[in-house]
Structure 1
């Protein structure tokens, strides 16, 4: 069973060496979807409590909200593209979202309603 939450964060960035306007500082309201896969339900009938899932995701997302992503240590050596943001979030959430009967399955990051990426881990 796949259990997910949707959330968002706002932040600025620029893509170093990008051949176009995205090299200039600009911002996005990134939309996120974090999915956990459960192989069985607990005694309450849940794969993971939404409250727990939201709290663990928000702890990591709060690091990115309203900041210049280029200044974040995770993006010092790589561009803060949607792809790298998804990888960062997946790696940061993998341990907190590893339970006895569930695990992090995917992280989806969208810059707009019509473009985004889904990362499933290595």
Structure 2
């Protein structure tokens, strides 16, 4: 068994800024990302339901998809949308998940 140090990048898109000139409150996004990543941190990923015995292989691609789906459920996006999630396994090995 071994650990990984993943880096996660999230992109939110929108067509309009609020009265402060912001698209989205980064603290809300950061809090939601932290909640999602806490479920993965210091755990055996294969023991989690999404990745478990009948789940998917814990690749960077599947991790990006998992994080995307969790954030999509939890973020209050209103007129914005979660565009993509990028998971880095290393500086030159990464995967992006997005919905069309």
Q: Which runs of 5+ in 2 are unaligned?
A: none
> In the alignment, which residue of structure 2 is the partner of 1:17?
none
> In the alignment, which residue of structure 1 is the partner of 2:91?
113
Deviation at 1:44, TM superposition (A): 1.3
> In the alignment, which residue of structure 1 is the partner of 2:70?
92
Question: Which of 4, 16, 22 is the aligned partner of 1:46?
Answer: 22
Take 2:32 and 2:87, find their aligned partners in 1: how far apart are those partners? Answer: 17
Higher alpha-carbon Rg? 1
> In the alignment, which residue of structure 2 is the partner of 1:104?
82
Provide the aligned length of Structure 1 versus Structure 2: 98
Deviation at 1:89, TM superposition (A): 0.7
Using CA pairs under 8 Å that are at least 6 residues apart, name the structure with larger relative contact order, 1 or 2. Answer: 2
Q: TM-score, normalised by structure 1?
A: 0.75
Q: Which has the higher strand share?
A: 1
Q: TM-score, normalised by structure 2?
A: 0.90
> In the alignment, which residue of structure 2 is the partner of 1:83?
61
Deviation at 1:42, TM superposition (A): 0.9
Deviation at 1:95, TM superposition (A): 2.5
